[in-house]
Structure 1
Amino acid sequence: MDIMPAAFTASYMVVRMKLTDITPAIAVSPLDGRYQRQAAPIAEYLSEPALNRERIVVEVEWMILLANGMGNGSLIPGVQPFTDEEMDYLRSLATDFDANSIEQLAAHEAITHHDVKAVEYFIDDALDRAPSVLGENCDLPRLKPLVHFACTSEDINNLSYARCIKQAIELVWLPAAEAIVNHLAEHAEQYKDMPLLALTHGQPATPTTLGKELSVYVYRLRRQLERIADQEYLGKINGATGTFGAHTAALPQVDWIAVSREFVETRLGLTWNPLTTQIESHDWQAELYSTISHVNHILHNLAQDVWMYISRGVFAQVPVKGATGSSTMPHKVNPIRFENAEANLELSCALLDSLAATLVESRWQRDLTDSTTQRNIGSALGYSLLALDNLLGGLKSIHPNNLVIERELNENWEVLGEPIQTAMRAAALQGRAGMDKPYEKVKELMRGHAISKNDVERFIDTLDFDEATAQRLRALTPATYTGIASTLVEFD
């Protein structure tokens, strides 16, 4: 049964404007719409234009290496080494890459239906224009055969993606993740002595300190970020099936292995992969995405913990002036930054885990599944970056609520059952009388009862402790029973 009358529905369908007719085009992904500002830094390195710009870099640098060689002149007979002016002109195709460049590339791809071929033709156009910039004697138009020489598309793509991802991680994602770790580390030091009632299984447990609990996250995150900072970014340039077949057929006298290694490592700053099919095997990508996913899961745990601390009253939020917490309950300050972080971390992990699983497989020497898959790397990192932004903003908007923290500790004297029964065990081992069944005796006193300071002291006085131990136990309070938690902060 229709809830809305057909005529009513039809009237809306007829009169409403089509959103797809609006220019500029409306974003489907929230990363390009609602959250464009927060995700924009990733677009600098992992958007389609960014990939094309990097493809131009790879193509141009390959031309320069072929023309100028590795110190012994040109590798290609009939090609004179490029002058400094010619190299500057070629490199400007990437450094000056702009909206007009994007349009030119799109025009070529509309005809070729092949993105890398469009880049090749884009560079050809630039070679044709070179005499108008460098002078009539410029030889660049003659060198179109040098563009994409002995390359398959994947030679260009794998190197371009590797450079894009490397820059996105090192210049955008990693600094954002490190900012959270630094914030946590700073506050771990600040609150290393602040006692906090611990909850295990959601029940009052041995007290800790707020600083020590923050340090746990610092330690966990730093281990993973160190792995990411040391990540290898592999690349290859070895032809259609990884054999240097076209290279050696055309110019057998060239040491193509040395040239390939020089290009990947020295010219592009990547790690050379000597053994591939048509594609670079993407194992390094799987390693990277798995580690970032791991970081995301740790941060997800942090967001949930902080959310629950806020709910419990341990953390208080600083209200944002003018912000609305609830559309109907004006008293509320909702922990939305942490909820937003949770959701975006989950989206990021879903994409990263899919990328890690998919990219390491390819049928025989090549299939095209990785092409579509890799176009989502920006989204995977974009959702993570959005989460990092929200999480850091949330962490900066909270502070410990001393009144709640102190009240929780004072209401849970039963947590001192652990040190008392452990001291009883030690006394029993020394032969002191009345120390049998320490766990059971403390359990009888404390489980299911509201325990006060006086109850604890009276229980201690019934036991035959030596005076030093008795005094030490009587001096304990839930707020002072934190062991060496404050010292452990040093290890983060």
Structure 2
Amino acid sequence: MALSPLNAISPIDGRYRSKVEKLKDYFSEEALIRYRVLVEIEYFIALCEIPLPQLESVSSSIFEDLRAIYKNFNTEDATAIKDIEKVTNHDVKAVEYFIKEKFDALGLSAYKEFIHFGLTSQDINNTAIPLSIKDAMNDVYVPEYTALLEKIEGLAKDWAHIPMLARTHGQPASPTRLGKEIDVFAVRLKEQFNLLNDVPSAAKFGGATGNFNAHKVAYPNIDWKAFGTKFVQEKLGLHHSFPTTQIEHYDHVAALFDGLKRINTIIIDLDRDIWTYVSMDYFKQKIKKGEVGSSAMPHKVNPIDFENSEGNLGIANAIFEHLSAKLPLSRLQRDLTDSTVLRNVGVPFGHTIIGFKSTMKGLGKLLLNEPKFAQDLENNWAVVAEAIQTILRRESYPNPYEALKGLTRTNEAITQSSISNFIDTLDVSDAIKSELKVITPSNYTGI
């Protein structure tokens, strides 16, 4: 049966496939194979550029033909490698045999044994995977993140002057402005994103146990550490981890995943706040013709986009957390658990992108209900008590907090009139009374 959105087990490849289609170029099996081919080809070219004595006769004019093997890589090539793997039962060795066949076709048969020369499979996997993650971050994640951040920043600017009743512990508190509350999320996101830029895309490259043993024994006069660093950093654009065991220690990629998790957590926090504002009638939502909010209640327009985002980002974080906790742990030189879990790297990225898109969609449907903001402020004159008692403190008025506490902590409604009457009873100058009476829930919003 051909895979379709209807029979896929994962919703990433099913229901949400159209939202994460771009990720297939970085995290699918075919993509992983292509990145492995890229590393193998670039490694052979780098050996020619030393040059190793046996490769001195390889002309640089053939390099672009070699690069075409991975640049023009397609599903047919990936299938051919998978067919070889059925025999070898080893995925990286299958890539090596595939490239050897390409060398035969290019008239390079004499040089085939320098494909994968001195390497272990992890020299390929631990360069291919971080390279794919780096590319996915730059090509897919960053544009989605940037679009969402710009949307949030735009709303913060649009709503900068909308006074709003704040709530601490769910109770009415000192007023704020809607734009400022949204801007909090924008600043949090930018600060965490800046931390991501400090995390290197690290790769291991050093032979079976990280010491270039095979390279050193074959060519003892070459500085293989310098070669490995130059290859990883200049050819592949990654950071060369050294020393290592057989595998990359994964500390840097764990830091990346932890950073992505924190960004997702901030978006979840935003989702929940907006969801709550919708429930408070601060926002209406644009209605799309034909859409149904509830199968039973025709009037409902549910904040489903924020709920969808929260759910998907929660799944992403659970997997990111497992990856960042698991990958740096390996028995002695290496066990195979890293290989298994690394095949799931694309899953949290997929759920993250789905979450970003859902939040973006939800924010785009919001309709500001300004009268509701004004109504809540007018119904909560008690919140100016903080302002009054603070000015009284400034004036050394005796026990101002207790005086306001006696006024406001009653079951009677606090109104503009009751606040004004209270001010009139204070033993302060008329100028101070005038200053206090200017304060309203709508203008007591700070900076």
Under a length normalisation based on structure 1, what TM-score does the superposition of the two structures give?
0.88
Corresponding position: 1:291 with 2:253: no
2:434 maps to: 471
Q: Which runs of 4+ in 1 moved over 4 A?
A: none
Check if 1:172 corresponds to 2:140: yes
Residue type at the aligned position of 2:238: L
Pick aligned residue for 2:91 from 105, 112, 115: 115
Q: 1:275 to 1:31 in 2, by over 3 A?
A: same
- Letter matched to residue 62 of structure 1: Y
Mapped contact 1:68–1:82 kept (Cα < 8 A):
no
Write the mapping of 1:66-465 to structure 2, written as runs, cut at 5 A.
66-69=47-50, 74-84=51-61, 86-130=62-106, 138=107, 140-428=108-396, 435-447=397-409, 448-465=411-428
Check conservation: 1:170, 1:229, Cα contact below 8 A.
no
CA distance in 2, matches of 1:284, 1:227: 12
- CA 1:468/1:174 → structure 2, altered by over 3 Å: closer, same or farther? farther
The 1:260/1:312 distance shift into structure 2, 3 A limit, reads same
Letter in 2 for 1:437: N
TM-fit CA distance, 1:146: 1.1
Aligned residues: 444
| Structure 2 portions without partners, runs of 5+ | none
The amino acid of 1:152's aligned partner reads T
CA apart distance, 1:78: 4.8
Closer, same or farther: CA 94–466 of 1 in aligned 2, 3 Å: farther
* 1:64–1:82 Cα contact (<8 Å) kept: no
CA distance in 1, matches of 2:59, 2:45: 7
Partner of 1:77: helix, strand, or coil? helix
Per-residue displacement from partner, 1:302-360 (whole Å, max 9, x unpaired)? 10000000000111111122211111212111111000001111100100000000000
Rounded to whole Å, the distance in 1 between the matches of 2:257 and 2:55 is 45
Deviation at 1:425, TM superposition (A): 1.3
1:62 aligns with 2:43: yes
Aligned to 2:24: 43
CA 1:272–1:78 in 2, change beyond 3 Å: closer, same or farther?
closer
1:462 maps to amino acid: T
Compare 319-328 and 146-155 and name the one that shifted more. Answer: 319-328
> How far apart, in 2, do the equivalents of 1:285 and 1:78 lie?
35
Match of 1:18 in 2: none
Give the Cα separation in 1 of the matches to 2:376 and 2:330: 57
1:159-188 Cα offsets, whole Å, 9 max, x none, are 001100011112211221222211111121
- Give 1:127 shift: 1.1
SS in 1 for 2:393: helix
Amino acid at match of 1:460: I
- Counterparts of 1:383 and 1:470, CA distance in 2: 57
Distance 1:453 1:478, change over 3 A: same
SS across alignment from 1:275: coil
Q: AA paired with 2:35?
A: E
Root-mean-square deviation over aligned CA pairs: 1.2
In 1: Cα distance, 2:55 partner to 2:273 partner: 67
User: What SS class does the counterpart of residue 181 from structure 1 fall into?
Assistant: helix
Shift in Å, 1:39? 1.4
2:443 maps to which residue? 480
Give the residue type in structure 2 aligned to 1:329: M
Residues 48 and 55 of structure 2 are in contact (CA less than 8 Å); yes or no, is this contact kept in structure 1?
no
User: 23-32 or 294-303: which moved more?
Assistant: 23-32
The 10-residue stretch of structure 1 (380-389 or 174-183) with the greater mean CA deviation from structure 2: 174-183
Per mean C-alpha deviation after superposition, the further-off stretch among 335-344 and 45-54 is 45-54
Secondary structure of 1:338's aligned partner: helix
User: What letter matches 1:81 in structure 2?
Assistant: V
What secondary structure, in the 3-state scheme, does the structure 2 residue paired with 1:316 have?
A: strand
Percent of aligned positions with the same letter in both sequences? Answer: 40
One-letter amino acid of the counterpart of residue 454, structure 1? S
Shift of 1:77: 2.8
